[in-house]
Amino acid sequence: MSLFISQAHAAAEGAPADSGMSMIFMLVVFGAIFYFMIYRPQARRTKEHKNLMDNIGKNDEVLTTGGVIGRVAKISDENDYVQLELSENNIIAIKKDFITAVLPKGTLKSI
């Protein structure tokens, strides 16, 4: 029995000690991967969407996240809502953030 205990003790003493530099290097690599693959593209999309929201004007034809296509009838600056004209008699109010794209002029007539 003492034979096994001494072998285990000898194996524990013979293990090489790992330096902390490899761990720091791996953390830096994971941080760079996170920045370039997750944070930077998301920040670019957010900036583009904010630019789109700032440039929406009356009579622009837009597409919403729900797939609704309409023409901007009125923009309310104080509460960030937009009134969309779906047809001549149908007007709905949506939050400005739900607009995903500004469509080319004449899209509503071609549908």
Quote the CA–CA distance of 34 and 46 in Å, as a whole number: 17
The answer to whether 56 and 82 are in contact (CB under 8 A) is yes
Question: Domain limits of the chain?
Answer: 20-55, 58-110
pLDDT of residue 77: 78
Cβ neighbours of residue 94 under 8 Å, at least 6 residues apart? 64, 68, 81, 82, 84
> Among the CATH numbers 3.30.930.10, 3.40.50.920, 2.60.40.10, 2.30.30.100, which is that of 58-110?
2.30.30.100
pLDDT tens for the 111 residues of the chain, in order: 555 555 555 555 554 556 788 899 999 999 999 999 999 999 999 999 999 988 999 999 999 999 999 999 999 878 889 999 998 899 999 999 999 999 999 888 888
